[in-house]
Amino acid sequence: MTKIQHTPKIVLVTGGAGFIGSNFLHYLLRSDDIVRVINLDVLTYAADVQNVSGLAEAYPQRYRWVQGDISDLVLVEKLFDEEGFDTVIHLAAESHVDRSIDDPLKFVQTNVMGTATLLHAARKAWKGREDVRFHHVSTDEVYGSLGDTGLFTEKTGYDPSSPYSASKAASDHLVRAWQKTYGLPITISNCSNNYGPHQSLDKFLPVMISKALRDQPLPIYGDGQHVRDWLYVEDHCRAIDCIIRRSKTGQTYNVGGNNARTNLEVVYLLCDLLMDMKPKSGGHYKDLISFVADRLGHDRRYAIDMSKIQQELGWQPQEKFTTGLRRTIEWYIKNPLPKIFL
């Protein structure tokens, strides 16, 4: 096993009320009984305070919630001064492709300027320290679209297609620039599509599950043959934790679930699982599938080569897609989405 390179003690998690962020907070506080965590989140549409409910009561000395914007330099510098962070897990981002097409400047402000603000504050506070770590969580969408074959590797050139993926590509470059120019100890991960409990209310799987349960049409872009690799969120949390502790600084890792499937295949499986878990009174959930006009700039295929993180750090996904999707459906059955989001 790779030796420990960094031991987090006081951690800033940005976007901790969001989907991946909240799951990571639960995971980290549960798995490390020493670490102290500060959750900074501005609470956009993609966040929900209910995602982190109970953490303050369960970990009163080790968890702090701060509502605020990562682009607010005064606030961010104040938090660095107050808490003395030795680790930053940067998850805060505008992340919905359709919304980025409608309002690209908001994505540039949060994903680019917000990241630059955090990097600036970290460099100022850490003053050349090496016992610190800035980990930036990014996406495989920065690589653009694959052809019919091949996989994204850490050496794949960037070719973003949407304002969202372009803003994440820019933030990746900023993080690397702060390492090369200022020597800031950084790591980066580019993950595939996450799924699981607490996901944003307008993402693909939550919408499909909730619409199916309400007997509403299941809208699929284009011909449904767009391919994505699906990563269960708790596997992703373990990967982030693994990288910040075991990776040398300056490294980038692709994190995938080894579950590359077409959107149509995913919805077929979802419908079959729903028929088993909550059968329709008549017909099949597949009858609700409806094809709609394709998204602008819709990348055709993503697929992750995750051999680097497996070989160097010993991480690999544990959740199978069928069992992970079943667990996800169970959560949304118990926690139905408000009709306003559907």
pLDDT(40) > 80: yes
19 inside domain? yes
Mean pLDDT estimate for the chain:
94
pLDDT-derived band of residue 340, with 50, 70 and 90 as boundaries?
very low
Question: Which range, of 38-42, 227-231, 278-282, 293-297, averages the lowest pLDDT?
Answer: 293-297
Instruction: Find the helix or strand (DSSP H, E) in which 264 lies.
Output: helix 263-277
283 inside domain? no
235 inside domain? yes
Q: Provide the pLDDT for residue 155.
A: 96
Q: Provide the pLDDT for residue 336.
A: 64
Structural domain range at position 306: 10-199+230-258+301-317
pTM of full prediction above 0.85: yes
The domain that holds 152 is classified in CATH as: 3.40.50.720
pLDDT(338) > 60: no
CB atoms < 10 A from the CB of 10, how many? 14
Average confidence (pLDDT) over 73-79: 98
Average confidence (pLDDT) over 25-35: 97
Question: Residues 6 or more apart from 98 whose CB is under 8 A from it?
Answer: 202, 295
* Residue 221 appears among annotated catalytic residues: no
296 inside domain? no
Instruction: Tell the burial category of 74 from Cβ atoms under 10 Å away from its Cβ (0-12, 13-18, 19+).
Output: exposed
Q: Is the distance from CB of 327 to CB of 196 less than 8 angstroms?
A: yes
122 inside domain? yes
Question: Which range, of 74-78, 180-184, 307-311, 334-338, averages the lowest pLDDT?
Answer: 334-338
Q: Provide the pLDDT for residue 148.
A: 84
Total domain count, the chain = 1
Q: Which of 141, 235, 241, 319 is an active site residue?
A: 141
222 inside domain? no
Average confidence (pLDDT) over 79-101: 93
Distance of CA 327 to the CA centre of its chain: 18
Average confidence (pLDDT) over 134-144: 96
Average confidence (pLDDT) over 171-189: 98
Torsion on CA atoms 96, 313, 304, 317, rounded to nearest 10: -80
Q: Which of 63, 143, 164, 195 is an active site residue?
A: 164
185 inside domain? yes
Average confidence (pLDDT) over 43-59: 91
Question: Which range, of 75-89, 113-127, 180-194, 294-308, averages the lowest pLDDT?
Answer: 294-308
* Residue 27 appears among annotated catalytic residues: no
148 inside domain? yes
% of the chain residues with pLDDT over 90: 84
**Angle in degrees, CA 247, 37, 3, rounded to 5:** 20
pLDDT tens figures, 261-297: 999 999 999 999 999 999 998 899 999 999 999 888 8
Question: Which range, of 176-185, 237-246, 287-296, 310-319, averages the lowest pLDDT?
Answer: 287-296
Report residue 335: phi and psi, to 5°.
-130, 70
* Residue 41 appears among annotated catalytic residues: no
Q: Which of 140, 234, 299, 319 is an active site residue?
A: 140
